[in-house]
Amino acid sequence: MNLNQVTLPTLDLEPAIRFYRGLGLQLIVHAPPHYARFECPAGDATFSLHLVEELPRGGGVSIYFEVEALDRRVEELQAAGVSFTQLPVDQNWLWREAHLADPDGNKLILFHAGANRKNPPWRIAGG
């Protein structure tokens, strides 16, 4: 099994498209006003947006995008006007993370984990 894509809700497709293109995702499907799909610049995963009348309530979903040169990319995004709720910090689970939100308030985490992404020291043997 392989993860194909993650879809997030949006109240306004065009500002959301501009935001995600600004993060570096490549727009591959543009079906306004209801849908847009992107390719990630690395790997095989895709990401999409779907127009909704109301956003889900509560904590929602957190989307993680892995970035090799995290600190440099955060600096570039800040220079382009992107605001972060947390600048890059080393976490106790051995990932370095920066947090931000998209125009709809969906929580995004840009991170770098290297080998610890799938193989942390506490990985279950045989898992």
- pLDDT tens digits, one per residue of 21-37: 999 999 999 999 999 99
Rounded distance between C-alpha atoms, residue 29 and residue 121, angstroms: 39
Residue 27 pLDDT:
97
Question: For all residues of the chain together, what is the average pLDDT?
Answer: 94
Which of 41, 35, 43 is closest to 7 using CA atoms? 35
Strands (E), the chain: 5-10, 26-31, 35-39, 46-51, 62-66, 86-90, 96-101, 107-112
Residue 4 pLDDT:
85
Q: In degrees rounded to 5, what are phi and psi of residue 19?
A: -60, -50
Mean pLDDT of 100-114: 95
60 touches 9 (CB < 8 A):
no
Establish if 27 belongs to a structural domain.
yes
Establish if 75 belongs to a structural domain.
yes
Establish if 122 belongs to a structural domain.
no
CATH of residue 66: 3.10.180.10
Rounded distance between C-alpha atoms, residue 63 and residue 8, angstroms: 9
Place of tokens 């997030």: 8
Residue 127 pLDDT:
63
| Contacting residues for 28 by C-beta, under 8 A, at least 6 apart | 37, 38, 39, 46
pTM for the model stands at 0.90
Establish if 85 belongs to a structural domain.
yes
**Total domains in the fold of the chain:** 1
Confidence of residue 7 (pLDDT cuts 50, 70, 90): very high
| Residue % of the chain over a pLDDT of 90 | 83
Confidence of residue 44 (pLDDT cuts 50, 70, 90): confident
- pLDDT tens digits, one per residue of 51-61: 999 998 887 78
Could you list the residue range(s) of the whole structural domain that residue 78 is in? 5-53+60-117
Residue 113 pLDDT:
95
Establish if 125 belongs to a structural domain.
no
Confidence of residue 2 (pLDDT cuts 50, 70, 90): confident
Establish if 17 belongs to a structural domain.
yes
Measured CA angle at 65 (ends 10, 41), to 5 deg: 95
